[in-house]
A = this chain, B = another copy of it.
Amino acid sequence: MRKVAIIGIGQTQVSEHWEKSLRELAGEAIFAALVDAGRETADGLFIGNMLSGLLNGQENLGVLIADWVGLQHAEAVKIEAACGSGGAAVRAGLMAIASGEMDCVIAAGVEKMTDAKPNETTAALATAADADWEAAHGLSFVAINALIMQRYIHQYEWEHADFAPFSIVAHQNATHNPYARLPFAISSHEYATAKMIAEPINLLDASPIGDGAAALVMVPADNISSNGRTNGRPLVTIEGSAMATDNIAVHDRLDPLWLTAAEISSKRAYSQAGLTPKDIDFFELHDAFSIMSALSLEACGFIERGQGPRLGLDGEIGISGRIPIATMGGLKARGHPVGATGVYQIVEVVEQLRGQAGNNQVIDATIGMAQNIGGSGAAIVTHILKAHK
């Protein structure tokens, strides 16, 4: 199997882009990634997106965007795995290169959510859950996560305030990210007194939706010059890539407090990379809700079961901590344009590995991990990237 390198990255700010169409948004990120890579075209385009049909009245999204960015006649499809669509699109691009079918691929994610009415967006997001057995009973996505958090707090004897560091760290990191949706710091008092959404999840436990796009240019690593650097930057390769799934409905899982798909996909990625959790310098996890940060950290082996909040309380998740997370703001503060999020995560990992993360730079970052979750833990994609310095 051919190893894959990421040689270009691009992103738009996550925001309310009422002035830009879906294709314009995607194009902005893709053109930036091509310029960054020093390339003009690609053989294929894999678009991570969840809601273009429901919220933008547009399917055939691969073709729409390939056409717009001038990838004339290139292969192009949309990949959907709910909020895990972006990570799945990166996996699709990896397989296209590894199989020898393509020599240069663009994997991008785009989502345009803020033109719709809030209740439309909530209903659209619920299509990530089991339509017949969860959504049909009125369970919104925040409600499903609230049930999980409620149970977690009860079973492992935490208090709501123990989750504060996840949100505080993410917001702090976002203050230095020009692409972030909510680039401001929050205090523990603000966290504790934020408006309740679905008990125990309050406004500052939840990530904001948004409009945004992110893109990568991927090539076989053996195409890169042998000194291992591109444009004077460290070469970044994908060392581990895996996806696993779980029962779509939380009530079908043996343990609703354990992300089995995160455990399986991260173990597979560690094994491919020949690494263990100790080797990971930072972790862009899927903090759609603060409870998800705890569950991801546990399932990926960074702390024992039920102890996720401990890492935050002990100061281990900040930029200079043992396992920095959400280094550019995470879903919580960079924002969560759902189908694009998984690609934003990889873009941010590459920024760190290249040493381009500015005030948020993780010192000596060499190995970065990203994990993208679709549904309430149902579809989980894990990537491990390495800088060759």
**Interface set of A (CB-CB < 8 Å, partner B):** 1, 21, 23, 50-51, 53-54, 56-64, 66-67, 71, 73-82, 88, 91-92, 94-96, 98-101, 124, 126-132, 135, 242-249, 252, 260-261, 264, 374-375, 378-379
Question: Do A58 and B127 form a contact, CB below 8 Å, given A95-B101, A98-B100, A243-B75?
Answer: yes
**How many copies altogether?**
2
Question: Do A53 and B54 form a contact, CB below 8 Å, given A73-B246, A375-B63?
Answer: yes
Question: Do A99 and B1 form a contact, CB below 8 Å, given A73-B245, A79-B77?
Answer: yes
Q: Which of A57, A74, A75, A77 has the most CB of B within 10 A?
A: A77
Bound: A57/B127 CA distance, A: 6
Q: Shortest 10 CB-CB distances between A and B: which pairs?
A: A98-B99, A60-B82, A99-B99, A58-B131, A78-B80, A59-B127, A75-B243, A63-B378, A95-B99, A1-B100
Q: Which of A1, A81, A100, A246 has the most CB of B within 10 A?
A: A81
Bound: A51/B252 CA distance, A: 26
Name the residue on B nearest A260 (C-beta). Answer: B73
Question: A63-B82, A75-B91 known; 15 other A-B pairs, CB under 8 Å?
Answer: A1-B101, A51-B59, A53-B54, A58-B131, A60-B379, A63-B379, A64-B248, A67-B247, A67-B252, A67-B378, A73-B260, A76-B243, A77-B92, A78-B81, A99-B100
Q: Which residues of chain B have C-beta atoms less than 8 A from A78's C-beta?
A: 79-81
Name the residue on B nearest A56 (C-beta). Answer: B131
Q: Which residues of chain B have C-beta atoms less than 8 A from A247's C-beta?
A: 67
Show 28 residue pairs from A and B whose CB-CB distance is below 8 angstroms, ordered by the A residue: A1-B99, A21-B132, A50-B53, A50-B59, A51-B53, A57-B131, A60-B127, A60-B129, A60-B248, A62-B245, A62-B379, A63-B374, A64-B130, A66-B245, A67-B245, A67-B248, A73-B260, A75-B242, A75-B243, A77-B80, A77-B88, A78-B80, A78-B81, A79-B79, A94-B99, A95-B95, A96-B99, A98-B100
Q: How would you classify the secondary structure of chain A's contact residues: helix, strand, loop or mixed?
A: mixed
Bound: A126/B63 CA distance, A: 14
Q: Which residues of chain B have C-beta atoms less than 8 A from A127's C-beta?
A: 53, 57-60
Q: Which residues of chain B have C-beta atoms less than 8 A from A60's C-beta?
A: 80-82, 127-129, 248, 374-375, 378-379
**Residue contact B95 to A244, C-beta cutoff 8 Å:** no
Q: Which residues of chain B have C-beta atoms less than 8 A from A99's C-beta?
A: 1, 94-96, 98-100
Which residue in B50, B75, B129, B244 is a CB contact (below 8 Å) of A245? B75
Bound: A96/B243 CA distance, A: 12
Q: Which residues of chain B have C-beta atoms less than 8 A from A63's C-beta?
A: 81-82, 245-246, 248, 374-375, 378-379
Question: Do A57 and B374 form a contact, CB below 8 Å, given A63-B245, A73-B264, A248-B67?
Answer: no
Q: Which residues of chain B have C-beta atoms less than 8 A from A23's C-beta?
A: 132
| A88 CB, min distance to chain B CBs, angstroms | 5
Name the residue on B nearest A136 (C-beta). Answer: B57
**Residue contact A81 to B98, C-beta cutoff 8 Å:** no
